[in-house]
Each structure stands twice: as structure tokens, then as C-alpha cells.
Amino acid sequence: MRNIILFSLDTLRASSMSCYGHKHLTTPHLDALVSNATLFESCISPHIPTHPAHTTMFTGKDVLTHQVITQGGQVNLSENINTLPELLGEAGYFTVAADNLGRWFQRGFPDNQYRGYQWESRYQNARKAEAVNKTAIELLDLAQSQDKPWFAFLHYWDPHTPYLPPLPFERMFYSGDECDPNNRSMDAVYACEPFTDYFRQWMCKPDSDAPDNIEKKRLWTDINYVNSQYDASIAYMDASLAQLFQYLQDNELMDDTLLVITADHGEELDEHELWYDHHGLYQTNCHIPLILHCPDVIPKGQRLDGLVTLKDIAPTVLDYAGKSTLSEREKMEGTSLRTLVENGSDDGSCDAIYLTECGWMKKRGWQTRKWKLIVETGGTPAVYNKPDIELYDLEEDPDEIYNLAEEAEDIVTQLKNEMDEFLKRRLTETGLPDPTDEQDITMRRIGDKSKAVPLP
């Protein structure tokens, strides 16, 4: 029963990390860790955003079983479904969490062992990861002061909006004038109705002599600056993670502790006109990192292709804890990745993945290694202006630019049939309603469905 740390790096898309090939050196410390770890090239978050994704991560089950399909929705996780911290507690683990999700995510952590954190969101000064580290190190000290094996859940938020990385990271990937009045590249962003107010509050440079004077603020006009702030937030988080890794090193925990490093979902920047948030079932949101580090048992420098998903995290952790009987008892739908890791296999844990979102938009999707089908379900506000059916060839068009739905109708039909058969089978297995049919989107003010206005 080895010690385990599960890192959830909220809103971190794989493609923006240098260890996944990003042009900017955003994650040098994670990259160094990867050289002693096994990295999964194609890990998918099937149910976005934060609440559904973490529920899948914690239960090893899909949305048709756990029914948590929206962000901040009315449906709570059933008490009959045990979460990973509860199961590890049952197995004799001491459990701690640095997290502020609350709700069912605190199940399995005794009161004093589930702790939040706070940070300031000021321009050039959002030091989120250092706030998490402070709580995390207190908890890891506590965990080491007792005799049981321990599990820690550490939840970082730096790549989440508003991106306000501290100096000097803010300038790390940008050297222009972010408020150049002649630059029109942000016009479409500020015109995006659901987010107009939010963007105008966030995307501006305060006057250095009067930082609280709203009249004197200057809006950012260069879209490259906003994109660079996402990368800079990742670089800042990466540097802060180095502090935590050094703590593990100093306490001789680095070699035999299992580190699972992943994200709940990614982020849309300027790719599909869904600006600076995590909605849309595109790879920007669904393709997340997954790194397993434990030099005692995990092969070093190994990169595995093949589809795996967030569903696989809980059974994998239980397997390395020596408790795979618990994932069998709980009928987890994910698969332990241990065999893939030990065999160096690119087979992945599945051939196809059912995708959902029901926060701002209400879509479902079906992803194979080659194809991505995205289908409108009738609940998305018209303001998003997306086609009802989208089909992308992920091998030829990994950025999902060219919608092939009209020219490849046979592929659409085939994938739709596969998705429908999957749904039919799963609904029979669960005996529960389809949450996409049953539940409404949550990320708008109640009222006119044609408009989507961010909740306060």
C-alpha cells in the first residue's frame, strides 16, 4: 500500500504543455518529471467541465451512471456510489485534500483533512499555485506524522480564467503592446455576447497610478497577449509545482510515491470562436495530460499512445494501492492502466469514447482514434451558432477546423449508429434516465434560452 498523490491541474490542455509538443516552453519542470515517468499521449476527458469531469475521475464511472452532467447542477452524486477517497479510506489509507470543490468531492476526507485555499486575482499577481502549495504542504506534513499509508488530492487552478499570471511570467511569452489601439484582433472576443461583461472586467490593464479606477483601465486589444497569458499561467504553475516536487524530494517521497498528474478538462482559446472558456467537445477541451510517476514501479521515459480516459484513473490508483478488488466490487467502468504501463502497450483502454457537455452548450459526441462526431441535442442557445452535426478527421485535421459532416455522410451515419447502440446498451444497464434528456444547461441566467449570460 504505497502513498499516492493525485494532481488535478484544472483547465490544463495537453497541447499547451511542452512535454506534449507545445511551441512554448511552458512546463520545463513537468517535462523533467516525464523523463522519469510514463506519459499517456491520448487521454480524454469525456464529460466536461469541472463537476462532471472530477466526478468521473473520482468514481471510475461515466455520466450515464453517475448522472452528474452539468456544472453546479441540482443532481448530487448518489450516496450509493463510492468515491476514490472513500474507497481508499476503507482500505486503510489516511486521506487529505487541498481542494475547494466541496460537495461530494469532500466525501472520504475527515473534516480537518479537507482544506481549501484562497488567492488574489489582481492584474499580474494571481498567485494561485503558491496558495495551493501552502495548504498542500501542511497536509503532507500531517500525513507523514501518522502511521497509515496516505492519499493526497491536490487541485491547482492556474490555467483557469481569469488568466492573470504574476510577474515575470506575464511577459514570458509576449513582448508587444497588449493595448495597441490599432490592433483589432480582439473585436470578435468582446462581441461574444455571453461573455462580454466578464471579458471587459478581466481583460484590461489598470492604470499603474490608479489601479482601482475603472475609467482609466485600458482594454487588451492583442489576442496574442491573451493567448500568451494562458501559457504564462501554466508556466507559473509549473514553477510552483517544482517547489512541491522539491518538498517530496527533501522528504524522500519521490521514488516510492505514486504521482498521478492529470486535468479535469482543457481550454478553448481562439480556435473555434468559443473564447477563453471550456465548452465545446473539441480536443482543446477533451485532450488532457496523464502522467504516472513512481520510479520504483512505473517505467521511465515511456510514452504510450492509445485512447484512455478519466474513467481509468480510479481503477488505476486502486490497482497500484493493491486494492483492485474494490474497483471490481464497485463495478467501475474504467480500466486499470497498469497492464498497459507494464507491457508498454499502445492499445489504450478503449476503442471509442462517449462525450457530453451540458454547461453552456448541450452536445454529445463519439470519438474514435480517427474520428470525432459532435451532435447538437436541442438545448444549446442559438447564440453559439454551431452546426447541428460536426465531423472531424482527427488524424488529418487534429485542430478540428474542417467539418466533414456533409461530405462524409456515411461516416456520420456509422458513428451515430455506434453511439446510439452504446447509449441504448448503457441505459438498459443503468436503468437510469439519459441525463442529456433530463437535465438543462446551467451556465446561463434562467430566462431567455436564446441568450446565454454567465452566472454571477
Nearest residue (CB) to Zn ion, 100 versus 368: 100
Asked if 349 interacts with Zn ion (CB under 5 A), we say: no
**Per-residue binder mask for Zn ion (CB under 5 A), 22-51, x = binder:** ----------------------------x-
Min dist. Cβ of residue 10 to Zn ion (A): 4
Cβ-proximal residue to Zn ion, closest one: 50
Nearest residue (CB) to Zn ion, 100 versus 414: 100
Q: Which three cell numbers stand for residue 56?
A: 468521473
Taking alpha carbons only, the member of 234, 263, 242, 273 closest to residue 387 is: 273
Nearest residue (CB) to Zn ion, 50 versus 133: 50
Residue 80 CA to residue 141 CA, distance in Å, equals 32
Taking alpha carbons only, the member of 225, 233, 122 closest to residue 175 is: 225
Q: Look at residue 140 and give its three-state secondary structure.
A: helix
Min dist. Cβ of residue 158 to Zn ion (A): 12
Nearest residue (CB) to Zn ion, 127 versus 265: 265
**Per-residue binder mask for Zn ion (CB under 5 A), 240-269, x = binder:** ------------------------x-----
Min dist. Cβ of residue 249 to Zn ion (A): 29
Nearest residue (CB) to Zn ion, 264 versus 400: 264
Which one of the spans 5-13, 89-97, 268-276, 445-453 is the region binding Zn ion (CB under 5 A)? Answer: 5-13
Residue 326 CA to residue 287 CA, distance in Å, equals 28
* 456-to-30, 194, 361, 442 alpha-carbon distances in Å: 34, 12, 18, 12
Q: Look at residue 20 and give its three-state secondary structure.
A: helix
Strands (E), 369-438: 371-376, 389-393
Residues forming a β-bridge with 48:
357
Taking alpha carbons only, the member of 19, 25, 70 closest to residue 288 is: 19
Residues forming a β-bridge with 258:
4
Which residue among 4, 8, 10, 333 contacts Zn ion (CB under 5 A)?
A: 10
Nearest residue (CB) to Zn ion, 310 versus 391: 310
Binding site for Zn ion (CB under 5 A): 10, 50, 264
